[in-house]
Amino acid sequence: MKYMLLIYGAEDAIDDNEREACYGKSSQLAHDLKASGQYLGASPLHSVSTATSVRVRSGKRMVTDGPFAETREQLGGYYVIDATDLDEAIGIAERIPGAAWGTIEVRPIVELPNLPTDAT
Partner 1 sequence: MSMSEAATRPMGEIVEDVYRAESRRVFATLIRLLGDFDLAEDALHDAFAAAVEQWSRDGVPANPRAWLVSTGRFRAIDIIRRRNRFDASLPVLAEQQGTETIDVIDWDEDEIEDDRLRLIFTCCHPALSPDARVALTLREMCGLTTEEIARAFLTPPPTLAQRIVRAKAKIKNAGIPYQVPSHNELPDRLDAVLQVIYLVFNEGYSASSGESLTRADLSGEAIRLARLLIQLLPDAETMGLLALMLLHESRRDARSSADGDLVLLEDQDRSLWNRDQIAEGTALVERALVTRQFGPYTLQAAISAVHAGAQNPAATDWAEIVGLYDVLADADPSPVIELNRAVAVAMRDGPEAGLASIDAILDRGDLADYHLAHSARAELCRRLGRTADARTSYERALELAQQEPERRFLKRRLAELDTLT
What residues line the site for partner 1 (CB under 8 A)? 1, 3, 83-87, 89-90, 106, 108
Min separation Cβ 1 and partner 1, Å: 5
Compare residues 73 and 85 and give the one whose CB is closer to partner 1.
Answer: 85
Q: Quickly list DSSP for 46-94.
A: --GGG-EEEEEETTEEEEEES-SS--SEEEEEEEEEE-SSHHHHHHHHH
**Cβ closest to partner 1, residue 84 vs residue 120:** 84
Q: In terms of CB distance, is 22 or 33 closer to partner 1? A: 33
Taking the complex as a whole, how short is the minimal distance between the CB of residue 91 and partner 1, in angstroms?
A: 9
Q: CB count, 10 Å around CB of 82?
A: 17
The H-or-E segment that residue 107 falls in is: strand 103-108
